Amino acid sequence: MAAKNKIAEKIKVRNFKLKTLLDVTKAINENASKQELYKLFEKTLTQHLGIKKLILLTDVDGEWKCEISANEQVSEKKIKDLLEILKNIHSIEVIRSNENDVLNGFDIIVPITHKDKPLAYLLLGDLYDDDEMEMSPIIKHLPFIQTISNIITVAIQNKILYKKSLEQAAFKRELELAAKMQQKLVPVNLPQNNLLKAAGMYIPFKEVGGDYYDLIKVSDDEYFVCIADVSGKGISAALLMSNFQAKVRALVQTKIPLKSLILELNKQLFDLINGEKFITFFGGYLNSKNQTLTYVNCGHHAPLYVCNKTVTMLESNTTMLGVFPEIPDFEPQQIKMKPPCKLFLYTDGLMDYSNSEYAPFTFEEIQTLLTKNSDKSTEEIIALIKEKIEEKSKNILAFQDDITVLMLQFL
């Protein structure tokens, strides 16, 4: 009779385990929440298997948290102390008596891993009387406990990863939309007349970037030309540059004098970012009738004035914008733009002054390209530069900055 009862009990336990696995699988397939899965796990171990003491620690985005604790108080300090021990455990381990105070009352450690990376640690204790002859429920059910622990932990990790993938997909869509909006801010049809021709290009390093160029018509004979580059990359740089572009356009439309324009841009930019970022900027008024360029270079890479196969650099004459509440005193400079000379403006993504491994061109290469092709139009030179960039990008995984070029020519 005793043997029959023992067999019946084994069948009952086996059926319970199969039903539990089925319930867990069903809950996962029905997209049960993390809390529901942990509740089912705790109930299975404590109420049905008779395990009275347990802790489940899980890794959530690099931060370890206690998801379940039964008959044990778990503080932040205890988690930290436990992790110092657990980080060296890679397989099921029996805890020896008085091995460590922080493990007191626990008998077994079950690490839960995926591709050798720890996802969770399960600590189990029986709290049974040493005088009882009955087998420990932990020992009796250990393979099942390990199985259900792995199933639930991996399922929850997959839920987290799936949620992240959805968030990343949504973020990517937002970036793509932001990129489309930013492209609309880059002038497509540059204003020009029979005395002035212009062409430009903009290649962001990522979906959105922090470069900006413009050619704004002020009157029939006068234009405002500018190019700018914000420190940093990505969304914050793009947002700041979009804001800056709006300020430039608004101020230019008031026909503000160049020096006042620069001072006002610096003031507004510093008030906005308080020196945390800065913008290099080259801006000036072009007069196609008088063939003059009155400009200020605020820490930007010197534009190149190409005339008679000679290259003149329009060097900086004041500091970058947004660094200080007031920039050092300066005066706008002026040059005569003699036909058919060209003005070549660019951001630092186009060239590295010594090594083209990190940018499409060295300074010497750009200088040679401009002087050798001085008889070509602005559009033809821009097309040639694009072609060279495409060639070099085949051998380089990715250039590390936005690439922006604006080219003007007096006729």
The pLDDT confidence band at residue 14, using thresholds 50, 70 and 90, is: confident
* Highest mean pLDDT of the ranges 121-130, 165-174, 287-296, 396-405: 287-296
| Rounded average pLDDT over 299-305 | 95
**Torsion from C-alpha of 365, 371, 372, 373, nearest 10 degrees:** 110
Q: Which amino acid is at 29?
A: N
The label of the residue with tokens 């004041």 reads 318
Q: What is the secondary structure of 291-307 as a DSSP string? A: TEEEEEEESPPPPEEEE
- Tens digits of per-residue pLDDT, 96-154? 766 678 888 888 999 998 888 899 999 999 855 555 556 788 888 899 999 999 999 98
**pLDDT value of residue 208:** 65
- Annotate 314-331 with DSSP letters as a single string: ----BPPBTSSSSPPP--
pLDDT of 23 above 80: yes
What confidence score (pLDDT) does residue 257 get?
96
**pLDDT for residue 356:** 54
pLDDT tens digits for 314-340? 998 999 999 999 999 999 999 998 888
For residues 281 and 298, the answer to whether their CB atoms sit within 8 Å is yes
CATH numbers and ranges of domains, the chain? 2-160 (3.30.450.40), 181-410 (3.60.40.10)
pLDDT value, residue 410: 85
Beta-carbon count within 10 A of 291 CB: 17
Q: Is the dihedral of CA 373, 375, 376, 377 positive or negative?
A: positive
pLDDT: is 384 or 348 the higher one? Answer: 384
Q: Helices (H), strands (E): how many in the chain?
A: 8, 17
- Could you report how far apart the first and last alpha carbons of the chain are, in Å? 112
Q: How far apart (Å, rounded) are the C-alpha atoms in residues 169 and 159?
A: 15
- The pLDDT confidence band at residue 18, using thresholds 50, 70 and 90, is confident
Measure the CA–CA gap between 133 and 81, rounded to whole angstroms.
33
Mean per-residue pLDDT of the chain: 86
Sign of CA dihedral 58, 60, 64, 67: negative
- pLDDT reported for residue 31: 87
Q: In one letter, which amino acid is 269?
A: L
Highest mean pLDDT among 64-78, 184-198, 258-272, 344-358: 258-272
What is the reported pLDDT for 270?
A: 94
pLDDT in tens, 179-226: 777 677 778 788 888 888 999 998 876 666 778 899 999 998 899 999
Residue 178 pLDDT greater than 90, yes or no: no
Q: Which pLDDT value is given to residue 127?
A: 56
SS3 assignment, position 69? strand
The strand pairing partners of 111, in sequence order, are: 121
In 3-state terms the chain splits into helix, strand, coil percentages (rounded to 5) of: 40, 25, 35
